[in-house]
Structure 1
Amino acid sequence: MARLPNLRWSAMRRISDALQEAADPGGPAITARIACLPRMTKAVARGDYDEVTAGHLALLAAAAAYVVSPVDLLPEALVGVIGLADDAVVLAWLAKTLTTDTDRFLEWERRRGHTVRGERIS
């Protein structure tokens, strides 16, 4: 039972770290990150952006659906605080992954504005 507080603390710390990274001064605003998600999805679907796969985007969507869904692997009503831990872990992963993915995509868009279509920057 002592492991549960450590798991919850770790998940909460990852969420906090991801949110702080997303809100870094000089970094993209959270609204810019959210606004780029449809563009990123279209770029992946067209094959223009290959740093993220369609499967990865599907996993992100599934994680978001899991967090907001009333259906839960470990229901809070039955197992109490332990039921919150799975949501916290999924939310922490989702926040960190979205931060990383949107950073990369926004940088790709920025670089792409300065390149000739078809030219690849390494």
Structure 2
Amino acid sequence: MAKAARAAQAWRVYRQVSQPGSPGLAARLRTVPRMVGAVTRGQYPGMTKGKLAMLGLGVVYILSPIDIVPDFLALVGVADDFGVFLWLMASLLGESGRYLDWERRNIQGSVFPS
């Protein structure tokens, strides 16, 4: 995904998070473990295990000392990590917001799984 597209995606998610009535940043982040569990158990149809695996690879890439573009190449090496970070955060926050909506529609009146 191009840098401009990642930035645009991050901006869209920021606008979603900041809308009145929309789940906030903290609520979305607290939802991520429940969402991951629901996807791995096959309970949440809104996200595939393949997309979950891609998000996991994004986390591994950010944490890994091995990069496609080495960090010692000044700004270019750090920019690829930042691009992956933007994509990862935008994807996680967007997906967790959709999961919260799905959870509210489908599990009303019951206790949410921990």
TM-score tier (shorter): 0.7 to 0.9
Contact 1:33/1:102 (8 A) holds in 2: yes
Gaps in structure 2 of 5+ consecutive residues: 110-114
**Contact 2:10–2:90 (Cα < 8 Å) also in 1:** no
For normalisation by structure 1, the TM-score amounts to 0.72
Partner of 1:93: 87
2:107 pairs with one of 99, 113, 116: 113
Tell me what 2:24 maps to: 29
43, 52, 73: which one pairs with 2:38? 43
| Structure 1: gaps spanning 5 or more residues | 1-6, 116-122
SS at match of 2:54: helix
* Alpha-carbon offset, residue 96 of structure 1: 1.8
Larger Rg: 1
Please give the per-residue CA displacement for 1:8-55, whole angstroms capped at 9, x wherever unaligned: 6x3773475134433434221222111111111221122211111112
In the alignment, which residue of structure 2 is the partner of 1:72? Answer: 67
Counterpart Cα distance in 1 of 2:10 and 2:64: 22
Give identity over the alignment, percent: 36
In structure 2, what is the Cα distance between the partners aligned to 1:21 and 1:114?
Answer: 23
- CA–CA separation in structure 1 for the residues paired with 2:36 and 2:96: 11
- 67 and 11 in structure 1: CA distance in 2 versus 1, 3 angstrom threshold: farther
SS in 2 for 1:49: coil
* Whole-Å separation in 1 of the counterparts to 2:84 and 2:31: 22
Q: Distance in 1 between matches of 2:23 and 2:85?
A: 20
Distance in 2, Cα, partners of 1:54 & 1:12:
22
Any conservation in 1 of the 2:25–2:93 contact (CA below 8 Å)?
no
